[in-house]
Amino acid sequence: MKISPLALICMLSACSAATIGPGASAPNSSSEPATASAPEEPTPLPANPAAIPAEEAPASPYESETEAPALAFSIDQANFGRDVFRASCTACHSSSEFSDRSFKFKWRRRSAGDLYRHMYSTMPEDAPGSLAPSEYVALVAYVLRLNGVDAGEGELPADEEALEGLSLAAIAN
């Protein structure tokens, strides 16, 4: 088997794709529509690194495998979820369905991400996905509250991947 010297170097050391890339041409960006007037420049956010105390720079939340991230939601988020529930869900559901034994048994081994995904991909049954991500995640917070999980300082993020790491085990307490 023949190995070119360049490939060998790449195998022995970190080799950027550019070194071995076939030299594909850059995509042509000349298709941008010409605008008559220059777009307004957005005001840049003031960079103020001094405002962030160095000692509070968080380590990676997933650094420790043993410590699960907290299932944190605020009372405001849960209250917002209750309002969304009343507006969009009570045509078919009562809130008690989401804290009874069968609900707890069904969901306690799943994650907040599973519940979030289930809601946005199937509910409301007559218009799945029709609510905003912030509304769906508030509904998850509301369901936690219904199940007696304590509200705290943080908010659940409207981010399925982050929610995947949050176990719903606390609803069975």
Enumerate binding residues for ligand HEC (CB under 6 A).
88-89, 91-93, 103, 106, 118-119, 123-126, 131, 139
Closest to ligand HEC by CB, 72 or 123: 123
Per DSSP, 154 falls in state S
Closest to ligand HEC by CB, 16 or 96: 96
Interatomic CA distance for residues 71 and 107, integer angstroms: 14
Closest to ligand HEC by CB, 106 or 109: 106
> In the bound complex, what is the minimum distance in angstroms from residue 153's beta carbon to ligand HEC?
24
Closest CA to 124 of 157, 91, 159: 91
> In the bound complex, what is the minimum distance in angstroms from residue 102's beta carbon to ligand HEC?
7
CB-based contact 158:113 (threshold 8 Å):
no
Closest CA to 77 of 152, 171, 133, 155: 155
Closest to ligand HEC by CB, 78 or 131: 131
Strand stretches in 9-77, DSSP E: none
Max CA distance (Å), the chain: 70
